[in-house]
Structure 1
Amino acid sequence: MVRPHDLRRRDFTGPDDLRAMQDLASRLWSPTSRFHPGQLAWSRYYRPVDPAALDDGEAVAVWTEAGETLGFGWAEAPDWLELQVDPARPDVAEEVIEWFEEVSDAETQSALVMEGDVAEQALGAAGFAPQPDEPFFTHHALDLVDLPPVPSVPGYRLRHVEPHEARERAAVHAASWSDVGPSEVDEQAYGQVMGAWPYRPDLDWVAVDANGEMVASALVWLDDAHGVGLVEPVGCVPAHRGRGLAGAVTLAALHRLAEVGAQVAQVSPRGDDGYPGPQRLYRSMGFRPQARTVTWSRSLR
């Protein structure tokens, strides 16, 4: 019998720890669970990083028992915690929150979990309280047998990315998000994305104009263990919006996802009224809401 004191924590040292986190996300995946392995890969590599090191103020730890990953904490900043734990082990959530107390010096701290997550009890016991009116994300799912056809957009062609196109692919992403703020995605970052599990170039789609320039994009990550693909991220260059390119390129990627054997697609847009456009787009394709996130916060002042 495995004893509680066999639970071990290790601090982040590189890609093997990211993979352990992804393996946990895959093992626990459902339409209502917090993470998909592709989401963790994108969150790690969307900006240029040293694969073996973390940014200043960032911390990651992984909890294992008998060789199995049971939870992780990702303090993306001193005031912000992302975490996932095995629902059968609420004690691990307590360990993660205690660790966050050790690595954070912020006077106000927040954590993001799914509504009803096993970590809620530990957060409440540590003085965190839910903030249901804060911005949140809503997981949406789509059965791929219900995919609508890919629309034709005159003057544009849809295709998947080639492995040597990291620079061009980074450029279309950065341009698509330029009106939100400066993007950290550059050629190095996108090269790291392309090298991360479970990236596949045949599930990374772009729309190109008559000159062959990429003007819209949609990346889908496939977790073979469950046959589920995560759409993350999607974008369209501002000058080419209003033509249906974001929807068309996403559907093209989803049709390829179905061709390679996946059964379900997931996407997690904002669910609050502060940023409604993406949610409307995905629901128009047939995605339906499943579960939402909730921010929990506490003040140590």
Structure 2
Amino acid sequence: MSITVQRSTPDSLGEIVEAVAGWQHAGGPVQLHPGDLGWHWRFGAQELAGAVRVWTRDGQILAVGMVDDTAGLIRMGIAPSVDDDAAFAAQLLTDLSEPGQGVLPGGAQAVEARFGTAFRGLLHRSGWVADEPWTPLFRDLAVQVENCGLRVEVIDTHDTRDRIVQDRVAVQRAAFAGSTFTLERWRAMAAAPPYRRARCLVGYDRDGDAVATVTVWSAGAGRPGLLEPLGVHRDHRGRGHGHAITVAAVAALQEMGSSSATVCTPSSNVGGVATYVSAGFQKLPDVTDFRRTI
């Protein structure tokens, strides 16, 4: 049975999201998640489809990559069924390395591969080296989550409260320098299939000001959920709002049936890591992308 790689299409994205959701499992690494695809969907289905590559064998999706052309990076999700599959790993490496395969015009310069024993081992042996370290964190949701201490508004896919959505967008833009998030992009994201298992949360302080926001993504009941993104308004930092909105996010994922809450942030983001730990997350050993040297 031959292994093929192809670009996705807007019509195929729903099937791809469901495949990636099925690969998430408790205790596994934080690999490409439906929430990563859902967050990117804010730019529209056509642009997301242009960034997604799909590997299949006998009609079954076995790996998905989301490309960042500007960085020469591809973020991989790999099915547990091919974790130790040496032939599949070899084909992945060939497809990622050769420009003619169409994955990236100049071939991948960096690969985020946090799952796939055979593939990761082959990258090591083929001269790919460790890149920037990232810190994965998780919180088990078997125990009831504490109160976060903020008033939190939850926005699901059917929400029509324009003011709350506008607050969601405003806090995002105030939390991240250079953010291009807009109301139209929120609507594109919220209308997409991944958001059917997602929520946006907006936290308000005692004065009624919107101070923090997060989007949480479920992969389905009993599977790990993801926080992506989370931010505190630049004018309201240093007051514990990051901790509070993180706890609120965990509670939302628990209510949605997730087995755990997961996040992965650059290890250089010391403050961010500390915030997650303060909110009950367990810090796991650092992981790195693989960078091509030849």
TM-score under structure 1 length normalisation: 0.79
**Residue ranges of structure 2 left out of the alignment (5+ in a row):** none
User: What's the counterpart of residue 194 of structure 2?
Assistant: 198
C-alpha change, 1:292 and 1:18, in structure 2 (3 Å) is farther
Deviation of 1:209 after TM superposition, in Å, equals: 4.4
Deviation of 1:245 after TM superposition, in Å, equals: 1.3
Q: Which whole-Å deviations, capped at 9, do the CAs of 1:19-65 have from their partners, x for residues lacking one?
A: 415513532534333122212322x225x34x12469xx64321122
Further displaced range: 166-175 or 236-245: 166-175
Q: Which whole-Å deviations, capped at 9, do the CAs of 1:67-125 have from their partners, x for residues lacking one?
A: 32111233311621222333143433333332232244549812122277432233245
Structure 1: how far apart are the matches of 2:133 and 2:142? 28
Q: Is 2:221–2:259's contact at 8 Å kept on the other side of the alignment? A: no
> Which of residues 177, 183, 186 in structure 1 aligns to 2:179?
183
Query: After superposition, where does 1:1-301 map in structure 2 within 5 Å?
Result: 4-5=1-2, 7-17=3-13, 19-33=15-29, 34-42=31-39, 44-46=40-42, 48-49=43-44, 51-53=45-47, 59-77=51-69, 79-86=72-79, 87-100=83-96, 101-102=98-99, 103=102, 104-106=104-106, 109-114=109-114, 117-124=117-124, 127-131=126-130, 134-146=131-143, 149-152=146-149, 157-161=151-155, 163-164=159-160, 165=162, 166-178=165-177, 182-199=178-195, 203-209=199-205, 212-270=208-266, 272=267, 274-300=268-294
Deviation of 1:288 after TM superposition, in Å, equals: 0.9
Q: Is 1:31–1:290's contact at 8 Å kept on the other side of the alignment? A: no
CA RMSD, 1 decimal = 2.9
Q: Which whole-Å deviations, capped at 9, do the CAs of 1:101-160 have from their partners, x for residues lacking one?
A: 2244549812122277432233245x44222xx42222222112345522435xxx3221
Structure 1: how far apart are the matches of 2:252 and 2:291? 40
Q: Which whole-Å deviations, capped at 9, do the CAs of 1:243-266 have from their partners, x for residues lacking one?
A: 111221221232233234333211
2:292 is paired with a residue whose SS is strand
Give the partner amino acid of 1:279.
V
TM-score under structure 2 length normalisation: 0.81
Q: Is 2:129–2:292's contact at 8 Å kept on the other side of the alignment? A: no
Structure 2: how far apart are the matches of 1:108 and 1:257? 34
**Residue ranges of structure 1 left out of the alignment (5+ in a row):** none
1:223 is paired with a residue whose SS is coil
Deviation of 1:286 after TM superposition, in Å, equals: 1.7
Structure 1: how far apart are the matches of 2:197 and 2:62? 30
Structure 1: how far apart are the matches of 2:189 and 2:77? 22
Q: Is 2:218–2:253's contact at 8 Å kept on the other side of the alignment? A: yes
C-alpha change, 1:90 and 1:292, in structure 2 (3 Å) is farther
Q: Which whole-Å deviations, capped at 9, do the CAs of 1:144-181 have from their partners, x for residues lacking one?
A: 2345522435xxx3221262344432221111112xxx
Give the partner amino acid of 1:66.
D
Structure 2: how far apart are the matches of 1:204 and 1:24? 21
Structure richer in helix, relative to its length = 2
